[in-house]
């Protein structure tokens, strides 16, 4: 049943997250909220909702490793997996406007997050700092549009399509809009519960820490919407969207997901994250620096190298995450006690 819970939970998170985004966008359009605000906040927060719900549920249940692993693993996957796969389909140009600025912000945000982890546990004031970083990023994006009068430089084409689709049905979508919002919220809550339950049971069965499951299976599962979006963009010969999506998603994962979770409940950071995974997350971010600042291209060969790097990372995580028998027994007792 553990695998069923995990698979069903992840599937429900993806479906419910999509429903929540569509319902929220329809509501925002009905309320005449500007496209820029919809794209930067409603859509972005909606697509980060699966990670947010899983992290909050994990932290509240006493499994902080799953909460942190979900975000760190997702950020690594967003670079090496989410950029690697579409690069096999179509070359990704890295010359989009403002992309270098966003990349710098992502790296700075990652460095501040790493520094805060050394001051653990992540508490209210840590969360406030992370959320403040996200707000600074959003305000900066809004000022760019104000200065250059171009939302297209800030909002991706797929987001604009979503907003336009909502605008076409504003007269007859009231019932559908409410249904999507309600089903999305309920689905996210149920999906998070199933995902956390399944992940912990699997960790207990294989004798690995919950952090390993968060960094691998759960992280990949919650990154599926980004992966699907970038693959479709590559098929439509618009692979450049992938880079902006990956960078923006990583900023939201740290600022919104971990920031809000820390505001709700303290998060203990396992020392293994500080020894290995946080630095891999930073290294993954740095691998795209040369392409962005030299207006380069992520070709099929680079995509293969990204995927190889991600595969090597997953192998190392599983190898490092094996829990010695005495610790495994202790972990099982803790799981049973929390259950």
Tokens of 270: 């396992």
- Sequential DSSP letters for 58-87: HHHTT-HHHHHHHHHHHHHHHHHTTTHHHH
Structure confidence at residue 332 (pLDDT): 40
Query: Residue 267: beta bridge partners?
Result: 122
Tokens of 74: 């997702």
pTM for this one?
0.82
Structure confidence at residue 238 (pLDDT): 67
CA distances from 265 to 58, 191, 268 (A): 10, 20, 10
Tokens of 188: 């996210």
Tokens of 232: 């479709």
Tokens of 104: 């710098």
**Residue numbers of the domain that contains 316:** 2-338
Structure confidence at residue 127 (pLDDT): 94
Structure confidence at residue 318 (pLDDT): 82
Stated as kind and residue range, the H or E segment containing 92 is: strand 92-93
Query: Taking the chain (339 residues) in consecutive chunks of 10 residues, what is each chunk's mean pLDDT?
Result: 81 78 74 63 69 86 88 93 90 81 92 93 94 90 65 57 64 68 79 81 77 85 78 72 82 91 92 91 95 88 95 87 45 46
Contact 213, 202 (CB under 8 A): yes
Structure confidence at residue 125 (pLDDT): 94
Structure confidence at residue 230 (pLDDT): 77
Neighbours of 175 (CB within 10 A): 8
d(CA 243, CA 265): 32
Residue 33 DSSP SS3:
coil
Tokens of 297: 């291209």
Q: What CATH number should be reported for the domain holding residue 265?
A: 1.20.1420.30
Residue 298 DSSP SS3:
strand
- Sequential DSSP letters for 139-207: HHHHHHHHHH--GGGTS-HHHHHHHHHHHHTTTT-HHHHHHHHHHHHHHHHHHHHHHHHHHHHHHHHHT
Alpha helices, H only, 207-223: 210-213, 219-222
Place of tokens 């992520």: 298
Residue 37 DSSP SS3:
helix
Total count of domains within the chain: 1
């Amino acid at each position: 049943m553990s695998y069923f819970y995990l698979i069903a939970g992840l599937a429900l998170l993806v479906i419910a997250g999509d429903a929540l985004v569509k319902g929220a966008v329809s509501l925002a359009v009905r309320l005449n909220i500007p496209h820029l605000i919809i794209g930067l906040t409603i859509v972005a927060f909606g697509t980060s909702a699966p990670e947010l719900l899983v992290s909050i549920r994990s932290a509240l249940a006493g499994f902080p490793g799953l909460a942190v692993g979900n975000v760190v693993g997702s950020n690594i996957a967003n670079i090496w997996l989410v950029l690697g796969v579409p690069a096999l389909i179509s070359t990704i140009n890295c010359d989009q406007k403002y992309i270098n600025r966003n990349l710098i912000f992502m790296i700075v945000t990652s460095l501040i997050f790493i520094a805060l982890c050394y001051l653990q546990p992540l508490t209210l004031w840590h969360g406030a700092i992370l959320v403040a970083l996200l707000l600074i990023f959003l305000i900066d994006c809004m000022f760019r549009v104000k200065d250059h009068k171009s939302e297209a430089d800030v909002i991706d084409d797929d987001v604009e399509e979503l907003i336009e689709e909502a605008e076409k049905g504003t007269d007859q979508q009231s019932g559908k809009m409410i249904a999507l919002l309600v089903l999305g919220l309920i689905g996210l809550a149920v999906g998070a519960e199933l995902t956390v339950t399944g992940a912990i049971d699997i960790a207990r069965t294989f004798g690995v820490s919950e952090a390993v499951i968060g960094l691998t299976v759960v992280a990949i599962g919650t990154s599926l919407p980004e992966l699907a979006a970038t693959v479709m963009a590559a098929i439509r010969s618009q692979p450049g969207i992938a880079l902006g999506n990956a960078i923006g998603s990583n900023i939201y994962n740290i600022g919104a997901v971990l920031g809000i979770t820390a505001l709700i409940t303290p998060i203990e950071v396992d020392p293994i994250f500080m020894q290995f995974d946080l630095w891999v997350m930073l290294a993954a971010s740095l691998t795209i620096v040369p392409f962005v600042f030299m207006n380069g291209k992520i070709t099929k060969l680079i995509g293969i190298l990204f995927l190889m790097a991600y595969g090597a990372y997953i192998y190392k995580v599983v190898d490092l995450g094996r829990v010695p028998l005495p610790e495994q027994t202790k972990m099982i007792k803790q799981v049973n006690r929390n259950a």
